[in-house]
Structure 1
Amino acid sequence: MSVHENQIGADSFSQIANAIKNFNFLMQPREIGLVISVSTGIATVSGLPNVGFEELLQFQNGLFGIAYNLDEEEVGVILLGDNSLLKAGDEVERTGRVMDILVGNGLIGRVMDPLGQPLDNKGSIQFEKRLPIERPAHAIMERSAVAVPLLTGIKVIDALIPVGRGQRELILGDRQTGKTAIAIDAILNQHDKNVICIYCAIGQRASAVAKVIANLKEKGAMEYTIVMVAKGNDSPGIAYCAPYAATSIAEYFMEQGRDVLIVYDDLTHHARAYRELSLLLRRPPAREAFPGDIFYIHSRLLERATHLNDELKGGSITALPIIETEAQNISAYIPTNLISITDGQIYLSPKLFKLGVLPAVDVGKSVSRVGGKAQLAAYRSIAKLKLEYAQFEELENFARFGTRLDENTAKSIEHGIRIRECLKQEELQQLNSLEQILVLLSLKNGLLDTIPLEKIKECENNLLKNSNQIPNEIQQRITSDEKLQDKDINIILNIAKEILAPFQDNSKLNHHHIEK
């Protein structure tokens, strides 16, 4: 037999083998159902008797959905795309898997949607594997205490309401009070801290998301940031899936031993998307028409943010969920749910915002339940600052009545005004811990009390410019989490006195007593 005949025989054999394989594939039983009805964001399907809860279903035009209501005769499906692509009578098929998201180092620097589609015109996204968007949170025994600070670069937060790696800190306030600005500042401050950042925009305007991405690109933050976007005009199913998909990406990095910061902007839109879907699926409504499991959708999301123990490589996810309040009502349904789930909250006050106190953090209503345990030891030398500021706010309210004030009260008010002035900070201008300690120590020890109010900003800028005058060994102690000794504090204060000397109001200086 010739070589040519041998070749023909081999080709025939491979064709027969392929035909058998295709025949076996075609003969496998497949469950196919039919669409009964379609409405905004959901579809009702019949004919899938073995479908599982949250299983991914595929419609004939490439649209996907999640099986959510499993009734005897029909299945309620959350659509992950435009419902106008569907009509009654279309076929739907089981996929045998739950919804998942692609994960891997190739995602860093990319903008994507919760389905894993790129939104930045940079081609397809390189990934290593896929993870389900819903995963059980790590067990308590696999976690360790929150003890490493996550510095935001914002004085009022790092000094008074510290955030640690593995913590969940809620940012809440009325619309247009600077909630996203704080979260973006926190992301920008991680540029040399080896922290992966994920910004998850849920139901935001496209223009607002574009502005955030532009800021991140301009400051070089996209080198370590992943942006996931569920736009305002996307289906409610995509908005509902977005934070879970973003958290699965964060868990991939955490399980490699990396530290991750994730921002959910914002969970008000997430709750509303879930309410819309639940009402369309005819689930019983409860308070404010939200379904009964509205607490659970957020608790199972935020419970996944944690700090793993050393046996599991010690990675962490720090979550900054954002919530929008209405008319400063932090005791509304969704805000109280999230306050009870998280480890503290940063409350932004519209009153402070209107007065030009930016960031508009209300120190009285803000709290960190991790507290000083997740703060550099150097910050303990300014521990009284929060109490002094709170006392000033109380006294300021009484002083408005025009009552006569004794000398100590007047001093407390003067000191408090300067605390407020020094806690102001420009957007996108982060300060390192050394700069913060120099300004806040000078403030706490009364060095700024004898300086006219209009010169405070100039004085602060002068302190920041000259922060490198602090000796190297003290700088290392501040950044390496060692407690400052009394002699270190005295050296810093003496440097600050020299820098501030040209600005002092000598008439006040003669009467002023600086605390030792």
Structure 2
Amino acid sequence: MVLETPLSDWISGARDRLEQTRLAPELEQVGRVEQIGDGVAHVSGLGQTRLDELLRFEDGSMGMAMTIAEDSLGCVLLSPYEEITAGSRVFNTGTIARVPVGDGLLGRIISPLGEPLDGGPPVVAARYDPIEKPAPGIVDRDLVTEPLLTGLTVVDAMIPLGRGQRQLIIGDRKTGKTSIAVDTIINQRDTDVVCIYASIGQKSSTVSRVVESIRAHGAIDRCIFVVGAADAAPGAQWITPFAACSIAEYFRDRGQHALLVMDDLTKHAMVYRQLSLLLRKPPGREAYPGDVFYLHSRLLERAAKLAPDLGGGSLTALPIAETQAENLTAYIPTNLISITDGQIIVGQKLFYEGQKPAVNVGLSVSRVGGATQAKAIKSLAQSLKLDYAQYLELEIFTRFGAMVDDKTARTIAHGRRLRAILAQPEYQPLPLSLQVALLLAISDGMLDEMPLPDIPKFREMLAQRLPSQRPNVVAEIDKTHALSDEARDALREFARSCADEFNRIHRAEGASGG
């Protein structure tokens, strides 16, 4: 090949052309706000925008494309938008919404976009992950085989959870749903589980109360709080659970275990309905858009136990939903019940009667956790369920003043003490060894003669003495989750001696008028 010009001139010309290319201006699409209000904006002039792409407004506010038409698009706003007006300029960013992930988020309170809300420095991210990611495929998943202990006897014994499960907590307003989730987070203080709490549309005072309770009783340095507050933009509330899920997946994909609490998906569905109607999506049942089921299913399907060749990590999801007048047949509750692997139903009547946590054992179910239940408690829980079911059935007759025989009276008295054992103070989850000791005591009838009001005092006595007087048994059960014959005998003997001493002390106090 013969060059018509000298090689040096050709190289010099190539350099000039490259420099001109570098300095050439880049074309940038600029759109205009046609209409804005209630957390959404209608934008024109951005014909190359992709769905879920981030948009930047001229005042620095951020939005995300939610609907795309031929000549316009609907954008949900993710940050305050007081300075945006009709005619304001809008720019493509070329990227979809992402959230920072990594160990640098531990102990922090952040917004769905990763902005610090705790007054601390900017978060240090390992990387930025999309807030929406596909769920693991079937071949990438493994069986749920490890228990996730909540520290609540009524849950661990009757509605057990497994790592990688999706368990719905559902009930009326102000019945202790969040308390169950917070106790579960607190109980992970001595485990290897990283906890992520996603607050969707909650008041700032409610979020502060959750954070302070975990700070006081749990391991806050292994928790992350993702907050889409009630006064935040509706778009920020909408993406909150997705961002929190991406943060939790970072730990799961590294072979670790994560717990994700979403509080709550009822408000999330309402925010999505609000945004959809403002963007003119056709309404369906109860005015929710037709894809609201897909909205939550693609979110909750991301919870999984991964196969060993992918690290064996797990992501357990505890979504919370609110009912009205305990109506489980409403649209959103039925959607979530059908998506999840079981539900913990809390009852208003039980709550006001003082039975806390107010779990309705008859309606609640765990469709996975039974196979993962800790062996130390599994053998005791079988008779526990039967005894409790018999008690609930017989108790109905006593409400009408019906006469009962001695055997029925004993069954009812035993059931009342069982129910007292299942009640627990807030923020005080019990270690597995103490739960086993209590269940051994109730199953062997050690508490049948004990006055009902004294049951909580007896539990405190066991909690104080068990770690110091039977440390080897406690260490074995809490570490292996198993109950050997020797440990069973030792716990039974310990519980019986404590019950005898407790009854003797209180009889003496009664005789002396103390």
TM-score normalised by length of structure 2: 0.91
State the secondary structure of the residue aligned to 1:28.
Answer: coil
2:162 paired residue number: 164
Query: Could you tell me whether the CA contact under 8 Å between 2:341 and 2:368 is conserved in 1?
Result: yes
How far has the Cα of 1:97 moved from its partner?
1.2
State the secondary structure of the residue aligned to 1:89.
Answer: coil
Classify 1:314/1:234 alpha carbon distance in 2 versus 1 (closer, same or farther; 3 Å): same
Query: Could you tell me whether the CA contact under 8 Å between 1:450 and 1:505 is conserved in 2?
Result: no
Query: Partners of 2:478 and 2:93 in 1: how far apart?
Result: 55
Classify 1:375/1:131 alpha carbon distance in 2 versus 1 (closer, same or farther; 3 Å): same
Classify 1:220/1:500 alpha carbon distance in 2 versus 1 (closer, same or farther; 3 Å): closer
1:264 paired residue number: 262
1:204 corresponds to which of 202, 205, 208: 202
Structure 1 counterpart of 2:452, which letter?
A: L
Query: Could you tell me whether the CA contact under 8 Å between 1:452 and 1:504 is conserved in 2?
Result: no
Query: Partners of 1:18 and 1:360 in 2: how far apart?
Result: 72
Structure 2 counterpart of 1:455, which letter?
A: D
Query: Could you tell me whether the CA contact under 8 Å between 1:111 and 1:228 is conserved in 2?
Result: yes
2:31 paired residue number: 33
1:479 paired residue number: 479
Structure 1 counterpart of 2:449, which letter?
A: T
Query: Could you tell me whether the CA contact under 8 Å between 2:161 and 2:370 is conserved in 1?
Result: no
| 1:407 matches 2:414 | no
State the secondary structure of the residue aligned to 1:173.
Answer: strand
2:178 paired residue number: 180
Aligned residues: 489
Give unpaired runs (5+ residues) of structure 1: 1-15, 509-516
Query: Partners of 2:479 and 2:158 in 1: how far apart?
Result: 18
2:321 paired residue number: 323
2:9 paired residue number: none
2:306 paired residue number: 308
Query: Partners of 2:402 and 2:49 in 1: how far apart?
Result: 73
* Alignment deviations for residues 403-422 of structure 1 (CA, whole Å, 9 cap, x no partner): 22122221111111001111
State the secondary structure of the residue aligned to 1:191.
Answer: helix
1:432-447 to 2 correspondence within 5 Å? 432-447=431-446
| 1:427 matches 2:426 | yes
1:8-47 to 2 correspondence within 5 Å? 23-24=23-24, 27-47=25-45
Structure 1 counterpart of 2:490, which letter?
A: I
How far has the Cα of 1:83 moved from its partner?
3.3
State the secondary structure of the residue aligned to 1:85.
Answer: coil
Query: Could you tell me whether the CA contact under 8 Å between 2:188 and 2:218 is conserved in 1?
Result: no
Structure 2 counterpart of 1:398, which letter?
A: F
1:511 paired residue number: none
Query: Partners of 2:218 and 2:340 in 1: how far apart?
Result: 30
Query: Partners of 2:324 and 2:138 in 1: how far apart?
Result: 35
1:354 corresponds to which of 348, 352, 355: 352
Query: Partners of 1:466 and 1:152 in 2: how far apart?
Result: 22
* Alignment deviations for residues 207-242 of structure 1 (CA, whole Å, 9 cap, x no partner): 111111122222352210111111101111111000
Structure 2 counterpart of 1:257, which letter?
A: G
State the secondary structure of the residue aligned to 1:122.
Answer: coil
Query: Partners of 1:385 and 1:189 in 2: how far apart?
Result: 23
Structure 2 counterpart of 1:381, which letter?
A: S
1:225 paired residue number: 223
TM-score normalised by length of structure 1: 0.91
Query: Partners of 2:471 and 2:281 in 1: how far apart?
Result: 65
State the secondary structure of the residue aligned to 1:83.
Answer: coil
2:7 paired residue number: none
2:54 corresponds to which of 14, 33, 56: 56
2:10 paired residue number: none
Query: Partners of 1:202 and 1:85 in 2: how far apart?
Result: 25
Query: Partners of 1:332 and 1:378 in 2: how far apart?
Result: 38
1:81 paired residue number: 79
Classify 1:473/1:493 alpha carbon distance in 2 versus 1 (closer, same or farther; 3 Å): closer
* Alignment deviations for residues 155-188 of structure 1 (CA, whole Å, 9 cap, x no partner): 1111111111111111111111111111111111
1:65 paired residue number: 63
Query: Partners of 2:71 and 2:184 in 1: how far apart?
Result: 50
Query: Could you tell me whether the CA contact under 8 Å between 1:434 and 1:479 is conserved in 2?
Result: no
Query: Partners of 1:121 and 1:18 in 2: how far apart?
Result: 47
State the secondary structure of the residue aligned to 1:466.
Answer: helix
How far has the Cα of 1:494 moved from its partner?
2.2
How far has the Cα of 1:483 moved from its partner?
4.6
Query: Partners of 1:435 and 1:473 in 2: how far apart?
Result: 10
Query: Could you tell me whether the CA contact under 8 Å between 1:381 and 1:441 is conserved in 2?
Result: no
1:336 corresponds to which of 325, 334, 337: 334
Query: Could you tell me whether the CA contact under 8 Å between 2:202 and 2:228 is conserved in 1?
Result: yes
Q: Which moved more, 1:130-139 or 1:385-394?
A: 385-394
Query: Partners of 2:79 and 2:453 in 1: how far apart?
Result: 55
Structure 2 counterpart of 1:492, which letter?
A: L
1:425-504 to 2 correspondence within 5 Å? 425-468=424-467, 469-470=469-470, 472=472, 475-477=475-477, 479-485=479-485, 488-504=487-503
* Alignment deviations for residues 19-57 of structure 1 (CA, whole Å, 9 cap, x no partner): 957733xx2222221111112111111112221111111
State the secondary structure of the residue aligned to 2:190.
Answer: coil
Query: Partners of 2:490 and 2:27 in 1: how far apart?
Result: 80
How far has the Cα of 1:504 moved from its partner?
4.1
1:194 corresponds to which of 169, 192, 195: 192
State the secondary structure of the residue aligned to 1:229.
Answer: strand
* Alignment deviations for residues 81-135 of structure 1 (CA, whole Å, 9 cap, x no partner): 2232211111111111111111111111111101111011111111111100000
Query: Partners of 1:221 and 1:331 in 2: how far apart?
Result: 37
1:116 corresponds to which of 96, 99, 114: 114
Query: Partners of 2:474 and 2:193 in 1: how far apart?
Result: 25
Aligned-pair Cα RMSD in Å: 2.0
Structure 1 counterpart of 2:55, which letter?
A: L
Query: Could you tell me whether the CA contact under 8 Å between 1:33 and 1:92 is conserved in 2?
Result: yes
State the secondary structure of the residue aligned to 2:188.
Answer: coil
1:136-147 to 2 correspondence within 5 Å? 136-147=134-145
1:373 corresponds to which of 365, 371, 374: 371
Query: Partners of 2:326 and 2:131 in 1: how far apart?
Result: 33
Query: Could you tell me whether the CA contact under 8 Å between 1:43 and 1:79 is conserved in 2?
Result: yes
Q: Which moved more, 1:441-450 or 1:238-247?
A: 441-450
How far has the Cα of 1:489 moved from its partner?
2.9
Classify 1:478/1:219 alpha carbon distance in 2 versus 1 (closer, same or farther; 3 Å): closer
1:387-402 to 2 correspondence within 5 Å? 387-402=386-401
Query: Partners of 1:482 and 1:411 in 2: how far apart?
Result: 31
| 1:132 matches 2:130 | yes
How far has the Cα of 1:496 moved from its partner?
1.5
1:150 paired residue number: 148
Structure 2 counterpart of 1:403, which letter?
A: A
Query: Partners of 1:341 and 1:484 in 2: how far apart?
Result: 37
Query: Partners of 1:115 and 1:295 in 2: how far apart?
Result: 24
Query: Partners of 1:174 and 1:443 in 2: how far apart?
Result: 31
Classify 1:403/1:41 alpha carbon distance in 2 versus 1 (closer, same or farther; 3 Å): same
How far has the Cα of 1:336 moved from its partner?
1.0
2:13 paired residue number: none
Query: Could you tell me whether the CA contact under 8 Å between 1:40 and 1:83 is conserved in 2?
Result: no
Structure 2 counterpart of 1:163, which letter?
A: L
Query: Partners of 1:244 and 1:453 in 2: how far apart?
Result: 46
Query: Could you tell me whether the CA contact under 8 Å between 2:258 and 2:314 is conserved in 1?
Result: yes
Query: Partners of 1:392 and 1:255 in 2: how far apart?
Result: 45
Q: Which moved more, 1:493-502 or 1:34-43?
A: 493-502
State the secondary structure of the residue aligned to 2:28.
Answer: coil
